[in-house]
Amino acid sequence: MRRAALALTLLILTLTAAVPGQAAPATMRVDYYHTGTDKEERFSLDRIVVEPLPWPGNPARPIDGSNLGKYFFEVADAASGRVLYSRGFASIYGEWETTGEARQMHRTFSESLRFPAVDRTATITVRKRDARNEFRDVWTFTLDPADKFIVRGIPPAAAGPLIELHKAGSPEDKLDLLILGDGYTARERGKFERDARRLLKVFFSTSPFKEREKDINVWGLVPAAAQSGISRPSGTLHRSSPLGTSYDTFDSERYILTMENRAFREIAANAPYEVVEILTNSSTYGGGGIFNLYATVAADSAWAPYIFVHEFGHHIAGLADEYYTSDVAYLPPTDKIEPWEPNVTALLDPASLKWKDLVLPGTPLPTPWPKDDFERDTKQRQERRREIRAQNRPEAEMNALFRDEMLRDTALLNGRPHGGLVGAFEGANYEARGYYRPQSDCIMFTRDDVPFCVVCRRAIEAILDMYARR
């Protein structure tokens, strides 16, 4: 504990002195509860915390102009109304309210807002998109930085020494990625570091991260678990892991999230971070990703390299899932409105298409692709996938199924005449009809050995530009 405390103290001194003659502001966090159903929601304050490390963000880009996220929050000076900081985000609640369960019961989720600490009274406003996709105020409160009940000076939860996995520069000049391990015992600390470095090699070999390696810091933390592994209720496996990650979120067997927001935040507070990827010490296929919250991946899955990058695409840039044939917990929307995600659309008008500048003249909209063949093959594989899980067959059988799928789909989706071109390919956002993706194949569509499409790469680049000073 002494060594960990000393390391944290040294890190604080280093970060505070990163800008000569200018101390970075503290990091302030608002923890709150988000409660409701599919028809109503409420917000209630839990606590306000000043974290032990200075704010790691880019001081030149405090305002978010990306227009991404189901939700959006602003921190404004109460006296003048001047906006000091803003960010778009998504949430577990925002996903849960689209499930069937939200029609039947209330649930409460813990969430957080993080921003550079204010030194004068501020107004915090949370907004949410309405049925027309426009942001409307849903919660506002006043924050007095002199409030005696603001939690200060309490060390964060024990997480072991901070691991410097990739240092490119000072946190305020770089995007800071924190890789957390969950379900690793004290003896498995070395395994976590090997897992993290193995997956980082894949991450930094994928565009646009490959070209922006000098703009990204990567840190690692692995709090010791009492038992190896994480919970998987569908396999009757339950663990009390430090971060509380679990398979079967929303009763989707491959979806890994944690509902333990407080535990996650207290552990993450040991590091400078803006984005987070959680590695779970497990081998069954799974992962998850939520915009501006975190991403997860089962580190020992044969498909971990793909899942790491795919889920991080959700997390960093709000990329939508482009697939539509896999089982999901979400109910189809009543009305098809234009999604806020940058890589899917419901509009085929060439003049208003999100990525119209990338479409070559003469490209048909919608753009033809072998949709019927793909859907027929995929239906058969999905039936086999459900059989494997229902019969609790070895994971090797699922991996073999996925490898066969990858070979078939790569050949099918990337051939002439429109493979590799930008257009509007019907089938995206979990829907077979009415939503369109930019290219026939992409990391957000299949597990094929293909890159992010050019639209997804551009969206990620825009977020990197917001966090990294070049």
DSSP code per residue over 138-161: EEEEEE-TT-TTSB-SPPPPP--S
Percent of the chain with pLDDT over 70: 95
| Element housing 59 (H / E) | none
Query: 48 and 147 in contact (C-beta within 8 Å)?
Result: yes
Among 221-235, 245-259, 374-388, 450-464, name the one with the lowest average pLDDT.
374-388
Mean pLDDT of 240-269: 97
Structure tokens at 263: 């535990």
Residue 21 pLDDT level (bands cut at 50, 70, 90): very low
Q: Is the pLDDT of residue 263 over 60?
A: yes
Lowest mean pLDDT among 4-8, 95-99, 105-109: 4-8
Q: How far apart are CA 93 and CA 417, in angstroms?
A: 42
Closest of 455, 462, 451, 468 to residue 177, by C-alpha: 468
- Give which of 309, 310, 300, 328 is closest to 230, Cα–Cα: 300
Q: Could you give the residue ranges of the DSSP H alpha helices within 70-207?
A: 92-96, 189-203
What share of the chain has pLDDT > 90, as a percent?
86
CATH numbers and ranges of domains, the chain: 25-143 (2.60.40.3250), 163-317 (3.40.390.10), 331-444 (no CATH)
Environment class of 377 (CB within 10 Å of its CB; exposed 0-12, middle 13-18, buried 19+): middle
Quick one: average pLDDT of 209-230? 98
Q: Could you report the per-residue pLDDT of 303-353, keeping only the tens digit for each?
A: 999 999 999 999 999 999 999 988 787 888 877 889 999 999 999 999 999
Q: Is the pLDDT of residue 9 over 50?
A: no
69-84 average pLDDT score = 98
At 155, list the tokens: 């060390």
pLDDT at residue 22 in the model = 65
Mean of pLDDT values over 78-101: 98
| Local structure of residue 278 (DSSP, 8 states) | E
**pLDDT given for residue 271 in this prediction:** 98
Kindly calculate the radius of gyration of the chain based on its CA atoms and give it in whole angstroms: 22
Run of H or E including 432:
strand 431-437
Phi, psi of 131 (to 5 degrees): -65, -15
Indicate whether 3 pLDDT > 70: no
- Respond yes or no on whether the N-terminal peptide bond of residue 417 is cis (omega within 30° of 0): yes
pLDDT at 243 exceeding the cut of 70: yes
Extract the tokens encoding 450. Answer: 């293909």
Q: Are 26 and 145 in contact (CB under 8 A)?
A: no
Is the pLDDT score of 2 beyond 50?
no
Angular region, 59: left φ>0, alpha ψ -120 to 50, beta rest? alpha
* 4: pLDDT strictly greater than 80: no
E runs forming strands in 66-210: 71-77, 83-89, 107-116, 122-129, 135-143, 163-166, 175-182
22-26, 28-32, 117-121, 264-268: lowest mean pLDDT where?
A: 22-26
Minimal CA–CA distance to 299: which of 420, 217, 194?
A: 194
Q: Tell me: the pLDDT tens digits for 412-468? A: 999 989 999 999 999 999 999 999 999 999 999 999 999 999 999 999 999 999 999
Between vectors from CA 247 to CA 244 and to CA 251, what angle results, nearest 5°?
A: 120
pLDDT value at residue 11: 53
Q: What pLDDT band is residue 23 in, cutting at 50, 70 and 90?
A: confident
Token pair, residue 237, equals 């496996």
Q: In which band, very low, low, confident or very high, does the pLDDT at 10 lie, cut at 50, 70 and 90?
A: very low
Q: Mean pLDDT throughout 141-160? A: 96
- pLDDT, residue 408, reads 92
The helix/strand/coil state of 103 is: helix
Tell me which of 224 and 335 has the higher pLDDT: 224
User: What is the arithmetic mean of pLDDT over 347-361?
Assistant: 94
At 41, is the secondary structure helix, strand, or coil?
strand
Q: For tokens 């105020």, what's the residue? A: 137
CA–CA gap between residue 267 and residue 186 (Å, rounded): 15
- Mean pLDDT across the chain, nearest whole number? 94
The yes-or-no verdict on residue 373 having pLDDT over 50 is yes
Q: What does each C-alpha distance from 348 to 242, 422, 434 come to in angstroms?
A: 46, 13, 9
Q: In angstroms, rounded to a whole number, what is the distance separating the alpha carbons of residues 203 and 210?
A: 7
| Among the ranges given (1-10, 88-97, 420-429), the one the predictor scored with the smallest mean pLDDT | 1-10
